[in-house]
Amino acid sequence: MHFTELPIRGAWTIDPSPHADHRGRFFRAWCTNEFTALGIDFVPLQANIGTSRAAGTLRGLHYQAAPHDEAKLVRCTRGAVFDVLVDLRQGSPTFGRWAGAELSAENARMLFVPRGCATGYQTLVDDSDIYYMTSAVYEPSAVRGLKFDDPSVGIEWPLPPTAISEQDSRWPSLQDHLSPLEAAR
C-alpha cells in the first residue's frame, strides 16, 4: 500500500499495490501492520455500503459526536466518487479546512478519515457504490452533520448537486456549529 498524507492532520489517501495477471488483480484493502507502522490507530468495528443511482448525488457531510466519534476508511467499489473530509477538531491547526480525493473502482484508492472529521461524497458517474469501515458502531443519537455548501468551508464539488437528502441540506454551517467533538487528537 502507498500512503499519502493529506493537508488535514491524520488524513491519508491509500493506493493499493495490486498484483495483476491474466485473471485480473489482487490487492490488500486494509492491513493493521501497515496502518500501525504509520501511527494510524484504526480498528474497524462496522462496515457499511452506500449505493447511488445518479451522477451528482451528494451524501454528507456526516460524523458522530463523542464518545461515539469514529474514524473511517472509505473506498469506491463501483463507479467513481469525490470523497471529502472537513476537520472539526477544535484546537486543530486545520480546523474548518477540507481535503478531497477521487475514489473509483478503477483506481481502488481509499480515503482514511480520522476521528473528529466530517465526511461526505458526491458521485461522479451513475451507479456508484462505496464501502467503508468505521472504528465505532452506528449510534443514531450521536449523528451530526455539517452543511455541504457552507461558504466558510468552501468545498469545491466537481458537479452541481443533483440529489441530496432533506436532512443533509439542513445541517448547520461551520459558524453555527458548536462541535461536540473532543479537542484535537
Position of cell 451528482?
A: 56
Q: What residue ranges of the chain have pLDDT lower than 70?
A: 177-185
In a domain, 181, yes or no: no
From the centroid of its chain, how far is CA 31? 18
In a domain, 177, yes or no: no
Catalytic annotation on 19? Answer: no
In a domain, 179, yes or no: no
For residue 112, give its domain range: 2-18+26-167
3-state secondary structure of 137: coil
Can you say whether the dihedral through the CA atoms of 110, 115, 120, 126 is positive or negative?
positive
In a domain, 40, yes or no: yes
Catalytic annotation on 22? Answer: no
What pLDDT score was predicted for residue 182? 38
CB atoms within 10 A of CB 81: 32
In a domain, 184, yes or no: no
Question: How many domains does the chain contain in total?
Answer: 1
In a domain, 172, yes or no: no
pTM across the whole model: 0.92
CATH of residue 12: 2.60.120.10
Q: In what order do the strands lie in the sheet with 12-15?
A: 2-5, 12-15, 110-113, 72-78, 128-134, 46-52
| Catalytic residue chosen out of the listed positions 22, 132, 138, 177 | 132
| Catalytic residue chosen out of the listed positions 22, 62, 63, 68 | 62
Q: Which of 155, 68, 151, 160 is nearest to 119 (CA)?
A: 155
Q: Is the separation of the CB atoms in 44 and 73 below 8 Å?
A: yes
In a domain, 178, yes or no: no
What pLDDT score was predicted for residue 180? 45
What is d(CA 161, CA 119) in angstroms, rounded to the nearest whole number? 16
In a domain, 109, yes or no: yes
Three cell numbers, residue 7: 493537508
What pLDDT score was predicted for residue 179? 41
